[in-house]
Amino acid sequence: MAVRWCQCRFSLSFNADSSCNFGFIPGDSSFNSGGLYFRANRQQRFHKSVPPGNYSGITYLGSNRYALVSDKAEEDGFYVFRIDVDSLSGKILNVVNEGYRSAGLPNRDMEAIAWFPVAGTLFISGEKDNEIYEYAPDGSRTGRKLNMPEEFALATAEYGLESLTYNAVTHRFWTTTESTLPADGRPASPSNRVCNRLRLQSFGDDMQPSQQYIYEMDKPRARKPSQHYAMGVSELCALDDGRLLVLEREFYSSSAIIPYAGVFCRLYVVNPMASLPGEMLDKELVAEFDTKLNLICQNLANYEGMCLGPTLSDGSRLLIMVSDSQNRYKGILRDWFMTVVLRP
């Protein structure tokens, strides 16, 4: 059963059999936002063919092949997956791991990955060193990297570079930190209920910094102290028309006798071309959704990666999202995938 979407904003939760409880008209989910039509499919898992991981980023290589990063992999590098999708619905049919391409270097908390077709290479952002390096298809580093503005060097290892996207039509890379840079304020939390202000930074094909814009997140929804808590932008996705999809993610877990955890995601669209560099971007809500872990529900999905995938038979474009299961923590969490159909 598909995710339900309504004309304004919506809230959904996935129960134990991965269906959605919403209470609106049955049928496929759909939504129109800023001239884009969205239709979401239910989240899926492929535990028999996908190894347990901490999948934090995904990028489309073409055909049915994708590169993914896992932020706790033993070495710097990336996986190559084959992901087959239904050309009509956009639902995932099969996922196969084709192996890990190692750079032969220590893990640096790899959080996002982007295919760079101009050179046939990939770029990976690391949260530990807050650098974005270029990699050959075999996993080795090329020696090149994006020239990050100096303010990003001050980002913390906990809330550093989390996202990366590239669009071959606009010839632009985009990245940002997960939370507010130290120079711009304190990160939002249940005890510091402010709006994170992030710097969305673009780069050209020459790997030099281009425009920078301000993005303001929503306030935290959580109000009580949590055993584990994280809030920030977990991923960006650059669209062909110059707009960006921005995924806001809030994770919390309790220290109660009966434990529970939840992830609350909001997907926004912004248009940098409608603002001047340095200005705050207007944002429009595309979707919001909850997944939970408690005695009844065990479908917690911490979505950290997303990318544009293939074009479907009707001309729609597919958005593929992947979650970080913390290596299928204690056998409870799962490596979830979800697809969203986009059509102008």
- Specify the pLDDT at position 228: 82
- Specify the pLDDT at position 69: 97
Amino acid (1-letter code) at residue 110: M
- Specify the pLDDT at position 3: 30
d(CA 57, CA 125): 9
Give the residue-averaged pLDDT of 170-192.
94
- Specify the pLDDT at position 175: 98
- Specify the pLDDT at position 34: 63
Determine which helix (DSSP H) or strand (DSSP E) holds 211, and give its type and residue range.
Answer: strand 209-216
Contacts of 8 (CB under 8 A, 6+ apart): none
The answer, yes or no, to whether residue 199 has pLDDT greater than 50, is: yes
Q: For the chain, which residues make up each domain, given as ranges? A: 29-343
**C-alpha count within 13 angstroms, C-beta hemisphere, residue 42:** 18
The answer, yes or no, to whether residue 24 has pLDDT greater than 80, is: no
- Condensed to tens digits (0 to 9), the pLDDT of residues 214-247 reads 999 999 988 777 778 889 999 999 999 999 999 9
d(CA 99, CA 60): 16
- Condensed to tens digits (0 to 9), the pLDDT of residues 129-169 reads 999 999 999 999 999 999 999 999 999 988 999 999 999 99
Q: Which fold has domain 29-343?
A: Tachylectin-2; Chain A (2.115.10)
- Specify the pLDDT at position 26: 25
- Specify the pLDDT at position 189: 87
Return the minimum-mean-pLDDT range out of 13-22, 29-38, 273-282: 13-22
- Condensed to tens digits (0 to 9), the pLDDT of residues 80-137 reads 999 999 999 999 999 999 999 999 999 999 999 999 999 999 999 999 999 999 999 9
Selection from 324, 334, 211 nearest residue 265 by Cα: 324
